Amino acid sequence: MVVPLSHYLALSVALFVLGVIGVIIRRNAIVILMSIEMMLNAVNLAFIGFADYFKAVDGQTFVFFVLTVAAAEVAVGLALIVAIFRNRGSIYVDDLNILRW
């Protein structure tokens, strides 16, 4: 055992929490998207950790898929941000509030 599982998981948790904070706190839509990527990244780390612990390659296969999906999601998300910017002139989520009461 080079690195015990708990270390991987602790780091994963810390990165995930940082991502969550980023989503809640930041106003800029792009930065929010980046925080989401960080959360996905943290999850990947957990998967890898488990793959290492159980000596099973399935964990890494999962990471493969998560990576793919993350890429697709970023592409679409950024396209959306560009479209919103064109429409409303701002990418601060504070300004996108016409659905309120």
Q: Which of residues 33-62 bind another protein (CB under 8 A)?
A: 33-35, 37-38, 41, 44-45, 48-49, 51-55, 57-58, 60-61
Residue 88 engages another protein in binding (rule: CB under 8 A): no
Using alpha carbons only, give the angle 34, 88, 70 rounded to the nearest 5 degrees: 25
Beta carbons within 8 Å of 31's beta carbon, 6+ residues apart: 22
The single-letter code of the amino acid at 33 is: L
Cβ proximity of 32 and 16 under 8 Å: no
- Judged by phi (left if over 0) then psi (alpha if -120 to 50, else beta), residue 85 lies in alpha
Residue 25 engages another protein in binding (rule: CB under 8 A): yes
| Shortest distance in whole angstroms from residue 30 CB to another protein | 5
Residue 7 engages another protein in binding (rule: CB under 8 A): yes
Residue 13 engages another protein in binding (rule: CB under 8 A): yes
| Shortest distance in whole angstroms from residue 2 CB to another protein | 5
Residue 65 engages another protein in binding (rule: CB under 8 A): yes
CA distance linking residue 12 with residue 31, whole number of Å:
20
Q: How many residues make contact with another protein (CB under 8 A)? A: 79
